[in-house]
A and B are shown apart, each in its own frame.
Chain A
Amino acid sequence: MTTTLNRPAASSHSAPKRALIERLNIFTALALGVISAVVIWRLALQFLPQDSEEAIFFNREDKITLLSMIAWFIGFMTGIGALIGPFRWLMGKDLSHDENMFYAGKDMGVKRYFRYTTDHKVVGIQYLVVTVVLFFIGGVLAMLIRTNLGNPEGGWIHPQAYNAIVGTHGIIMIVATIIMITGPFGNFIMPIMIGARDMAFPRLNALSLWLVVAAAAPILWGLAIGGIATGWTAYNPLASQAPLGQNGYIMFICIFAISTMVAGANITTTVIRMRAKGMTWNRTPIFIYGVVASVALALPAFPVFFLSQIMSAMDRAVGTSFYDARHGGSGWLYENLFWLMGHPEVYVILLPAVAALMEMAPVFTRNPLFSFNIAVMGIAGISGLSALVWAHHMYMSGWAPLLNIPFMLTTELISIPTGMLFLVLIGTLWRGRLWVTMPMASVFALLWNFMIGGVTGIYLSDIPADAFLHGSMYVTAHFHYTLMGAGLTGAIASLVYWFPKMTGRIFDAKLSWISFWMVQIGFQIAFMGMFIVGLAGQPRRVEGYAETFNTGNMVTTGGAYLIMSGMLVLLYALIYSWRNGEKASTNPWHSKTLEWTVANPIPLENFDVLPTLTTDAYGYGKEIR
């Protein structure tokens, strides 16, 4: 395989080819995907045998749906050009240097964003767009949920549609929060931050992005064929009983799992092997640790999730009974497999956000990062322990009552490394020179939100309290505080912070502040209200509730509308700043990490000469102790 990763960037002129590579883009992908799906659907409808009258389970429609979704997937990935690299390699005619440069978007202009481009900066921007779209869809669904629940007369939206909306909102947001920092910033910023020219596997980089795009179609398609009746956790056996839309969920997860594993392999290899000379582990910025820990957790976790969905698909489409107790299976098997992924996954979401804010704190206090070693230990501790706590989601399931206490122990223990992260943040802020910017304010918002999220997590980790709180809105409020109050806050701050490097423009400060306050205040109102109705006994995932919960729900809905407005202001600010924002200098924040040494527009291979480091990036202060 030819690469140019360690040579100085050459300015070669390649004669434009009229090859297939040149013509493939998102539109060919969509077209090929849709055509494949329709063709396979017609064929399956025609040729698949009917379900026999005596069959216990009817599988035909599931088979048809799954086959056409798989056809969509293959068609889409072929149409975007994902197979070209492997195909050429198999033919023995691997891509030449010029073709690789073409693939990397050299001299292509705006078209490179619509193609299977391997340049990590292009992939980063593409991830940003995908993340924004996913958040938009998830957010719209959230507003439908809250509007329905805010009405004391009872659901406008009938139960089936409501359940489908809740489930789809959940899974789309989970995926969006997983990619929200690692996608745009892990891809665009990370290689430059470590002094590399690109990721270790540029083609896999493009693959991981386009897999997410391919995955989005089945979930939306699923909404149209009955939706997800099960909530984002897709518990079996309900998932087996659920309408056809469940196949959309299954495909979404299977494709996304592959994307995550690919991205994980790429990011870990890049960071381990391609850091600049002199960037020892001690001098590696803390953001890198957060991103690597996050994908390192995802790497073992997502295959398990993938497997759980394959088995669910088999139960639905082929008549196995992995999860059906009446025929030898068990719903607990699903719960274990799901939560084995489900718990590490929340740290996959959280770690990059906290690490990003730890990266920003020194810049905006002109103070070194407090205790880098503790920060690393905290991240490592959380990662390690997160693999040992999963059954705290199953305290009430009746699966293994004797194991409840050991899992309570491991879950309580996780608050120790979590506390270390608080120590690092507070220590960095302490006696610093506070530069008041929106990313800096986000650090404070994180401290508030994560504290509440963390403490309520401790309540939930306690078995007797969980006996009351499990399955109530308290749980929903808790995880929104951690994933949204901490996670999303970190992601939005990252957007504003790294915007000048990604686009060459400053993110409009005033609008970012307006959005910040609207979102944060709306958030407190919405989710404090939710804690209260949860404590009062309102279960989760209900489209109607007893009168006693009316006030709490109305308050929460009001808060939600404020969040919605704030996020829309952010969306506008994003578009406005991208098009008309003030042009940024190379290092507007006077930060000391490597990405700020490269001027915009960033050359294709980032650095003319790869840098050599002699210190870490936290050397703030006339004297450092």
Chain B
Amino acid sequence: MSVDKSGVRQTTWWKKKDVKQTALIWIILTPILGYFSTEVQVRSMGAPASEIMASTINLMRIFTWTAAPVASLVFAMAGTILLSKSFYGNTPPPEVEVGYTNSPRANALWVVVSAVLCLFALVVGMVAVQRDSATLTDATAMEIKVTGQQWVWSYDYTDGSGVRSEVLYLPVNKPVVFHVTSVDVKHSFWIVQMGIKIDANPGYITETAVTPNKIGVFDVRCAELCGLLHAYMQNKVHVVSQADYDAWIKAQAKLEAATA
């Protein structure tokens, strides 16, 4: 207890009823909000098919759990306000006893905490970017040229086999660099479950890279409106074992040669 300027005994701020109520709501709401938002998002994204996607899903987890207490605090305070006495009708309630126009402590705390959280988000993001772009400079990576055309993706394997295909076959656990371009308008090459995307620009070649780490069939979708049939500019990525991939490439190369 302390005594304020006018001699009235004041409870310390954290013992005040509305503060305690806010704290309680906050403590209960944060895990609920965090868990619910994280689970819904993570489940919607599905199973990752690459290290990059797994790290992105993890990033969403981290960000969501970092944001949860912040959102929760705002909602808890709003909740406490809503639970306090409300006035209805056409005449306004009486004005407050003491109107606070400022609180340097609250201001400073709020700004500092939000700055720290921003910095945290930035650093986490930067670390992830560095890690994800490592594959781009991997000398052992295989290279595939991706051409976006209204409204079909086609792939050129540049490993000397001369194989060209509309379906992407990749060996598991092997890094691959995609050189992406377009022959007409802007498209965007997106391998959904591997979490990589790069625009296909006419006249330029852009790059992205990934190491698929799961065997299965995944989706390539165009992520930039490119005209009439943008919605259908999709095909599949088959990630197979090295042996299966070698067999496929050989068969395709034979087909290319036979039908040249």
Contacts and interface: CB of A to CB of B under 8 A. Distances in A.
A620 B228 contact: no
Interface stretch (B24-32, B108-116, B156-164, B240-248): B108-116
Interface in A374-433: 374, 396-398, 401, 404-405, 408-409, 412-413, 415-416, 419-420, 422-423, 426-427, 429-433
Nearest to B81: A429
A159 interface: yes
Interface stretch (B138-146, B168-176, B187-195): B187-195
Contacts of B63: 455, 458-459, 462, 465
Contacts of A422: 74
A525 to B, nearest CB: 14
Given A470-B188, A536-B44, A544 B232 contact: yes
Given A235-B224, A420-B110, A396 B188 contact: yes
B75 interface: yes
Q: Which of A435, A448, A543 has the most CB of B within 10 A?
A: A435
B97 A436 contact: no
B67 A458 contact: yes
Contacts of A374: 107
Given A405-B126, A416-B111, A462 B102 contact: no
B92 A590 contact: yes
B111 A433 contact: no
A461 B59 CA distance: 12
Interface string A502-537: 000000000000000000000000000001110111
Contacts of B231: 159, 539, 541-545
Contacts of B44: 531-533, 535-536
A538 to B, nearest CB: 8
Interface string B209-250: 000000000010111111111111010000000000000000
A434 B77 contact: no
A539 B202 CA distance: 21
A366 B228 contact: no
Given A464-B125, A470-B223, A622-B98, A416 B92 contact: no
B112 to A, nearest CB: 10
B187 to A, nearest CB: 10
B186, B192, B204, B221 pick with most chain A CB within 10 angstroms: B186
Interface in B71-104: 71, 74-75, 77-78, 81-82, 84-88, 90-103
Contacts of A231: 225
- Among A332, A412, A422, A544, max chain B CB count under 10 A is at A412
A369 B100 CA distance: 8
Contacts of B149: none
Contacts, number: 289
A371 B106 CA distance: 10
Contacts of B119: 412
Given A415-B118, A470-B188, A366 B93 contact: yes
B201 A408 contact: no
B177 interface: no
Contact of B75 (A401, A451, A467): A451
Interface in B51-72: 52-53, 55-56, 59-60, 63-64, 67, 70-71
A324 B229 CA distance: 21
B101 A331 contact: no
B77 A430 contact: yes
Contacts of A86: none
Contact of B95 (A163, A533, A621): A621
Given A331-B186, A368-B101, A464-B56, A163 B86 contact: no
A536 B186 contact: no
Contact of A620 (B95, B114, B221): B95
Interface in A463-481: 463-465, 467-468, 470-472
B202 A237 contact: yes
B63 to A, nearest CB: 6
Contact of A325 (B86, B92, B111, B204): B204
Nearest to A582: B90
Given A434-B81, A537-B219, A330 B203 contact: yes
A463 B127 CA distance: 11
Given A404-B129, A536-B45, A541-B225, A398 B71 contact: no
A370 B82 contact: no
Contacts of B99: 367-368, 618-621, 623-625
Interface string A107-126: 00000000000000000000
B100 A625 contact: yes
21 contacts: A230-B225, A331-B185, A331-B201, A398-B180, A398-B204, A408-B122, A415-B114, A423-B110, A426-B78, A429-B81, A432-B81, A433-B96, A458-B67, A463-B128, A465-B63, A467-B196, A468-B195, A472-B223, A542-B230, A542-B231, A590-B92
Interface of B: 18, 40-41, 44-46, 52-53, 55-56, 59-60, 63-64, 67, 70-71, 74-75, 77-78, 81-82, 84-88, 90-103, 106-107, 110-111, 114-115, 117-119, 121-122, 124-126, 128-129, 132-133, 180, 184-186, 188, 190, 192-193, 195-199, 201-204, 206-207, 219, 221-232, 234
Interface of A: 159-160, 163, 229-231, 235, 237-238, 241-242, 324-326, 330-332, 363, 365-374, 396-398, 401, 404-405, 408-409, 412-413, 415-416, 419-420, 422-423, 426-427, 429-436, 444, 447-448, 451-452, 455, 458-459, 461-465, 467-468, 470-472, 531-533, 535-537, 539-546, 588-590, 618-625
Given A458-B63, A532-B44, 20 more contacts: A238-B225, A330-B203, A365-B96, A398-B207, A412-B125, A416-B118, A423-B106, A431-B96, A433-B96, A434-B85, A464-B195, A467-B52, A467-B56, A467-B197, A468-B53, A536-B45, A588-B90, A621-B99, A624-B99, A625-B102
